[in-house]
Structure 1
């Protein structure tokens, strides 16, 4: 299986699992859901919660207008990489939610068949104009419309936007997990081939190195995304979903960066934007107990480094150092350039590390493997070592009960 292959939706997700999730969401919200691949072919036998009006229209002379609305919305969602909210030709409110993995558009979820208050309805674009002659072609359609339009689920625009973004996060998270499983399977296949190959095959080794990089980075993302979804749920319960759309927006920005970035090397500025979105979400967990300072030397912003190598260290400082500390504390993140070296420092006044844990991590200076070191720190050091080689160095100081300082030094390489 080639690592450059463009996967189909059927390669990376279980349709049965996805249908079960969408059915439950549809039953809770009263909104319809329909999953299609990137060619517009429906992937479920039955649409979930289709309104009788919409079901009848799709099998009438107006059906081509329904298909036209679906096609336009799907293209717009794929182009923008985010949910597209619109009115169909009969005035129902719908959303097109794209599923994108590594920049490849694999499919779409159509959800909605709802109605809004007139004030909110006027804010949305009607992407396909209605057929004014339709009621004369089939008079019973007008009667059907009058009878069933009021039965469409009434929602606020804010809640509908939040639901569309939540559906986007869940669907793309499931797709990412499926993609990660494929990468891990490929990694195993490459390792077996290397063991069986007597002669050194440089192309095979390059493929193995790239897959290892993707696999290590894939381990970092799902754990954080899953915890964030839980945070969204708790926040919604506590405040009636007032702040939830903001959290979802920040998470969507992170997820889009994760899924769209086929190139595994970013600028420091791009990595910082990811960290800022991450810190915005974490603020809803720490709730003002942690004071965060971010100092960045602008002359290093165009330098490069492997994707998602700093966030795990920031997460480690917050999750294990500061969050468990009742009174909170301070977190300082700095990027400073001096000549051809960029020094990155993450320092916290949290709980610090037990001596045994610190000793285990410091063994990474002389060995690639340790017994108990965390996945996040282990992966960061291995990725930076693989990419920068001898030009990379690091240091870790921690006093149990007082705090931790992690220092990384990488060469400044302009992207």
Structure 2
């Protein structure tokens, strides 16, 4: 999805930054659009650029500066170059958000436009042909929805475990599990320390990540997650320490929480402000909790949650959220969740377009949809009226259709940008 967006806007933007977790494909996406590639992961190229930062201003554009955060002054030099010449399509910066200790950069506001890259959405994995467009839903132009999905519940489990990281998808299951485990370990051993974070108790950090994963698709309090991570321990890390870890994990895009929806000119009272917890990819959550394919299909898996749903249901919702966020970004929309403080109402995903119209979505592991499943969607329509562009339930079923009450029932595999 980001490829199409970049093709549309990069010719008119002097500099763009591709941000996201390691392994989502930032370098591959940027390299396809670059005439000059400077990789700061290569010691020689990094040393040459550090000695003569002006090289980037005279190199043949578009200039890709990969792993730019290893030489943070590059950001400010690009900003200066843009001030001198605002011609479109000049610079692409790719890398993580983690900077070395003590590094400081200017915001780049008005000069460098940032794009968040996530793992592959379901439609990008070529497992089915999407026939329901999120952009059309946002415009209120989806009309009658129709289509048949070839995916079964078992196929969705496979997609959760294969992950959306391009480099992991074609690896056999046992080797892929080792790669995912190594990815998680590297976060604690390398990524956070490289970003200037001192981790005095790596085991506790790993336990907190495992507890956070078990809270996937919930808005469980951080104190509850900490208690789950340190159950039986008297010497617990402080909430300030854990809060710092959490902020850094989000800054390097390992955590990808969905913010609570607080609309402008909000007519709805008592909305919570607590984010809904998600890792950058549900495959990581599955590995942290330690439940494999057969266990997921049998309903296994511990959760840190007030809810009653299954662990597979939480992971399916995370897969749906990951895909919807990719489609929403392509449409210039934002993705949030809604819950009232008294737990009386809750909607899994609220996609809000630039015109403030919204598509409200529930995510259901079951293939069928009952009147009970759509009651919160109809409540929102009563509250917001014409501001609601469409109402959708995403399922694991095989048939897309529109209910008599107007709610679109869409198998997740059939939803696209």
What TM-score range do you get, normalising by the shorter chain? Answer: under 0.3
**Relative CO higher for 1 or 2, CA cutoff 8 Å, sep ≥ 6?**
2
- In proportion to residue count, which structure has more strand? 1
TM-score by length of 2: 0.26
